[in-house]
Amino acid sequence: MNRLLTLGVIIMVAGCTRIYDTDEFKFQPSEDTASDGATTCQTYCETVMDVCVAENAQFATAAQCMQICAYMIAGDTTDISGNSLACRDHFALEAIESAGTHCRSAGPGGNGVCGGNCESFCQLQNEICTGANVQFNSVEACLSACATIDDSVPYNNTIVSGNSLSCRLSHLSLASGSPDVHCSHLALDSPVCN
């Protein structure tokens, strides 16, 4: 009986090594499904890229969406406000019915629904533009500077020039993949967003 029990435990542990990293004993979710039902970058980016197109486009490519998404605060699956990936995913799904109304809330700025544009911009740039690419000394310094930038231009990913927060949000998305090139475009004295 003990041998059968021991054999059963060995088989169970061997099977669990496919699910658990036994060195750290942490669940290893698949790339497209979070273990707790939370929103993933994969599902969010698939939705926002399918739904928010043309004048409502939030990202130039799915790869760009995935790059900036990696820096977003996850949030709770019930979020319908606040600076989180979960909130953005909610509004990407809402955009299926009304892209013009909901895509900007699903985008990197949050449009005052999923975080304020300055709040989201500053949180993301603080994570993306580090080391030699730092443009603002702190999130607080960024928020203070951001308050002086024109936020009246409705965001879409094609706005890559002009002195607006929308231009800086576009370059922030680009900076998530190429910080050495695009972080300087976020500054108040931006060579591109001026």
Residues 5 and 47 in one domain: no
CB atoms within 10 A of CB 33: 12
Domain enclosing residue 51, as ranges: 33-186
Locate all alpha helices (DSSP H) within 95-132, ordered by sequence. 99-106, 117-128
Is residue 162 within 8 Å of 193, Cβ to Cβ?
yes
pLDDT of residue 23: 31
Give the Cα separation of 179 and 5 in Å (integer). Answer: 56
- Assess if residue 181 is contained within a domain: yes
pLDDT of residue 30: 30
Domain total of the chain: 2
pLDDT of residue 37: 59
Residues 25 and 39 in one domain: no
Q: State pLDDT tens for residues 77-87.
A: 999 999 999 99
Residues 101 and 42 in one domain: yes
pLDDT of residue 8: 40
- Assess if residue 192 is contained within a domain: no
Residues 16 and 79 in one domain: no
Residues 18 and 95 in one domain: no
pTM: 0.80
